Amino acid sequence: MKLNQIALAVAATCVAAPSFALTPADIDGTTVQLWISGATAPTASVYKAISTLCADNDGVTGPDDLHTYVSSDVAAANEATDAIPGKSKAGKFAAYACTMGPLAGASLDGVKTIVYHTFDAGSFEAYTPHLVIAGEPANVAIPTTLKRMKDLTDPASTCTLLAAPANTYDNCGTVTLPFAVGTANTDPYSVPVVPQGGFSDTEYTLNQLNLGVSKSIGDIGAEAPTNVGQGFGLAVSYPLYFAMQQKDIAAGKIAATCDDAPATSASPNMTAACQPNVTRQQYSSVVSASAVTNKSAALFGAPANSVLKVERRVGTSGTQSSSNAFYLNTPCATGPAGGALTPAGTNTAGTTSYSGGKVLVRSNNGSGDVKASITAASTAGEYAIGVLSLENVPSTTEKFAFVKLNSVSPNLDAKQRQTAINGDYEFWYELVGFTAGSAFSEGADLINGTVVALGDPTITDLTGLFVTKAAGVSGANVSTGYKLGNACAPAVQ
């Protein structure tokens, strides 16, 4: 059942507000309103980390009054499982409202707070508004607008309360905000027009080099390593997973029974013992512009001349930066020694490049788009593959599955990180927090508090993420290796 905001406001005039609530009707001039943007891959993890900053004074584990808002109108049958930040059906925009606790910093402790969160086109959107405001020369990769969720306090808001998950609203919609030199927020108690900063899958320098940006990080703010490793994996459609299994069965790598009934290409056997393998070399071959010619899904075990859909991300994406660095040495090997390869496809969302033989390389804005595209391929009986962060766990309506990489599984454990923690799985990078130079103290405290929450194994225990050894702590969730915030460096112990 859904209740629209107007009905809630009417009801609020008739009954006393509950002791713990931060509904739209409870948001007023004493509520701090902040906006963050950036990486789509760790959306669920950032949401969970921010929730740990909320006050917890009632003796019941969890935030006292956290209310969550998502932008999409989620189908009624899927609300309980999919109206959650990070799920593809929930959209690319969210807001989290709660009374903050001491972990959020001195400026927010005990303060009602809304955090608007944009995770649309990737990591570099944490930086792009501030580049425009700082006067970065025109660049097709630097958009002059950015969307966020609509003002939650607008009387015309379409946000609707769901029966489940608890205290969750959907159908909130979005607004597009323009940026120009000098654009600025007025005060932390008004609806924000500029983000305070955000989070990136990789450090600023990678995107700066990939996209030809002239300004340095110091021109727009500062970033801080989180000492949090984030794993990435190759996600494939069900038919491609099944074809890979058959290839591995023929090579004697997995049991001959792995493709036995009731397993089919529409519903493969996904037990750990039957997880198929992809090599780094194979995927590099279909995402390199120079190598992809005359390739097809047959490279991964599908029938000869089968079409392969590569679901990549746009250039502002940290996931794409991670993929470029790991599979193509780009931009890490762009110096005199060379070695960097040009990525196949374009940086324009929605475009599909026919690359040589039977490979279609499509550029997607967000991780949610990649998940939706691979899910659609599964339903249509098609072969699709793409990179996703390991925080992504398929919902009941999503049809994608991770495969082994160079014979190492990324997700043998429920948290999808143990092999990376052990040093066996190497496709991971370190999350970065960015605070704009124009950020209010409240914004800086929010981002700093979220960084601490992400990197403290005693506070959070998040899927796909782990604390690195460089944090100076130890424990089951701490990796043996670290990169010290340099994505181009190999991990060391």
Share of the chain above pLDDT 90, in %: 81
Residue 198 pLDDT exceeds 80 = yes
Note whether residue 296 is domain-resident: yes
pLDDT at position 356 is: 67
Please determine, for residue 459, whether its predicted confidence score (pLDDT) is greater than 80: no
**Tally of structural domains, the chain:** 1
What percent of the chain lies above the pLDDT cut of 70?
96
Specify which residues 429 forms β-bridges with: 230
| CB distance 65 to 149 below 8 Å | no
DSSP code, position 54: B
* Euclidean distance between CA atoms 196 and 205, whole angstroms: 20
What pLDDT is recorded for position 13?
34
89 has pLDDT over 60: yes
* Tens digits of residue pLDDT in 350-395: 999 887 679 999 999 889 899 999 999 999 999 999 999 999 999 8
- With 70 as the cut, is the pLDDT of residue 14 above it? no
Residue 212 predicted with pLDDT over 80: yes
Beta partners for residue 309, in sequence order: 360, 384
Question: Does 374 fall in a domain?
Answer: yes
* pLDDT value at residue 102: 97
Q: How many CA atoms lie within 13 A of 95 on its CB side?
A: 32
Question: What is the C-alpha end-to-end distance of the chain, expressed in Å?
Answer: 52
Residue 171 has pLDDT above 90, yes or no: yes
Residue 161 lies in a domain: yes
> Of 21-30, 250-259, 307-316, where does mean pLDDT reach its minimum?
21-30
Residue 477 lies in a domain: no
Over 60: is that where the pLDDT of 54 sits?
Answer: yes
- Residue 329: pLDDT band (50, 70, 90) is very high
Q: What does the pLDDT average to over 140-161?
A: 94
pLDDT in tens, 110-122: 999 999 999 998 8
Domain span at residue 169 reads 1-199+234-385+435-453
With a cut of 90, say whether residue 455 has pLDDT above it: no
Contact of 181 with 135, CB cutoff 8 Å: yes
Judge whether residue 408 has pLDDT over 50. Answer: yes
Amino acid at 267: S
Query: Burial level of 192, CB count in 10 A (0-12/13-18/19+)?
Result: buried
Distance CA 106, CA 236 (A): 45
Strand duo 160-161 + 168-170: pairing: antiparallel
| Confidence at 45, pLDDT banded by 50, 70, 90 | confident
Position 19 pLDDT exceeds 90 = no
Judge whether residue 343 has pLDDT over 80. Answer: yes
pTM of the full predicted structure? 0.88
Q: Are strands 32-38 and 112-118 parallel, antiparallel or unpaired?
A: parallel
Q: Compute CA 361 distance to the chain's CA centroid, rounded to the nearest angstrom.
A: 20
User: Which amino acid makes up residue 294?
Assistant: N
The mean pLDDT value for 205-234 works out to: 94
Assigned domain for 164 exists: yes
- Do 128 and 200 form a contact (C-beta atoms < 8 A)? no
CA dihedral 27, 21, 88, 431 (to 10 degrees): 80
Q: Are the beta carbons of 147 and 120 closer than 8 angstroms? A: yes
- SS3 breakdown of the chain: % helix, strand, coil, rounded to 5? 25, 25, 50
In this structure, what token pair is assigned to residue 452?
């601490």
Residue 36's pLDDT is what?
A: 98
Is residue 445 predicted with pLDDT exceeding 80? yes
Structure confidence at residue 7 as a pLDDT band (50, 70, 90): very low
pLDDT band at 223 (very low <50, low <70, confident <90, very high): very high
Mean pLDDT over each residue of the chain, to the nearest integer: 92
Does residue 156 surpass a pLDDT of 90?
A: no
Q: Is the pLDDT of residue 460 over 80?
A: no
Does the pLDDT of residue 1 top 80, yes or no? no
Average pLDDT over residues 299-322: 95
Task: Phi first, then psi: give them for residue 385, nearest 5 degrees.
Answer: -150, 150
Say whether pLDDT at 6 is over 50.
no
**Token pair for residue 184?**
């600025």
**The pLDDT of residue 59:** 85
Mean pLDDT (whole number) for 53-63: 92
Are 196 and 435 in contact by the 8 Å Cβ rule? The answer is yes
- 265 pairs with which residues across the strands? none
pLDDT, position 20: 59
For residue 38, which phi and psi values (nearest 5 degrees)?
A: 130, -135
Query: In the predicted model, what is the mean pLDDT of residues 325-347?
Result: 95
Longest dimension (CA), the chain: 72
Asked if residue 277 lies in contact with residue 267, where contact means CB atoms within 8 angstroms, the answer is no
Is there a cis peptide before residue 225, judged by omega within 30 degrees of 0?
A: no
**Max avg pLDDT among 20-24, 26-30, 147-151:** 147-151
Residue 208 covered by a domain? no
30 DSSP 8-state letter: T
Asked whether residue 173 is domain-assigned, the answer is: yes
Residue 468, domain member (yes or no): no
For the segment 304-317, the average pLDDT, to the nearest whole number, is: 94
Confidence of residue 176 (pLDDT cuts 50, 70, 90): very high
